[in-house]
Amino acid sequence: MIRISKVFVVLSLMVAGFTLKSAERPMHEIHSMLMFNFIKYVEWPEQAKAGDFVIAVVGDEDVSTTLNNFYAKRPVKGQNVKIVSVNNSAALSNAHVIYLADDMSKDFDAVHKKFSGKPTLIITDKTGLGKKGSCINFQEVGGKLKFEINQASIENNNLKISSQLASMGILL
């Protein structure tokens, strides 16, 4: 019952959006929590279900640390979680999820090209990257944190999102 309550609270916050000015938690914690919850609503192809579930964070040590502290010991999709933190997107070779921090958005085109067609959920935090091909992009709308979902990019990467997640995001 407690788990259902937590999921309901998270989903409610995702639907309503987080008020950026009044958020009690730092933004890196909110991004980390939302990313981990996005994963629950995405299905990876069979070939991606072996080995560790790799979450790569590019350019945001706070997000990486938060993910490690809260989620590294939890299995995801039946796999052990491995959090990888890099400051250079060229160092990425394989990941189920890539979070590209706002400061690293200049690397988006290279990341998008390198992982296009691969079963990788690319999550970004910069206006315009959702339309450029990011799978999920955090977006401020009316002082609230929302997220864009680029269904074409998700399908191109052989991923499937649940209708529940699609209904909560801004579809592109």
d(CA 172, CA 158): 17
For the chain, the average pLDDT equals 87
CA distances from 91 to 41, 64, 94, 149, 161 (A): 27, 16, 9, 26, 27
d(CA 155, CA 48): 15
- Which pLDDT band holds residue 37 (cuts at 50, 70, 90)? very high
For residue 19, how far is the Cα from the chain centroid?
A: 19
Domain around 33: 2-171
Q: Which residue has the higher pLDDT, 11 or 172?
A: 172
Residue 5: how many other CB atoms lie within 10 Å: 9
d(CA 167, CA 57): 26
- Which pLDDT band holds residue 117 (cuts at 50, 70, 90)? very high
- Which pLDDT band holds residue 82 (cuts at 50, 70, 90)? very high
Give the CATH number of the domain where residue 106 resides: 3.40.50
What mean pLDDT do residues 78-103 have? Answer: 92
Secondary structure of residue 137 in the 3-state scheme: strand
Q: How many domains does the chain have?
A: 1
Closest to 88 in 3D by CA, of 58, 113, 123, 116? 58
Task: Concatenate the DSSP letters of all residues of 88-114 into one string.
Answer: -GGG----SEEEE-GGGGGGHHHHHHH
Does the pLDDT of residue 144 top 70, yes or no?
Answer: yes
- Which pLDDT band holds residue 24 (cuts at 50, 70, 90)? confident
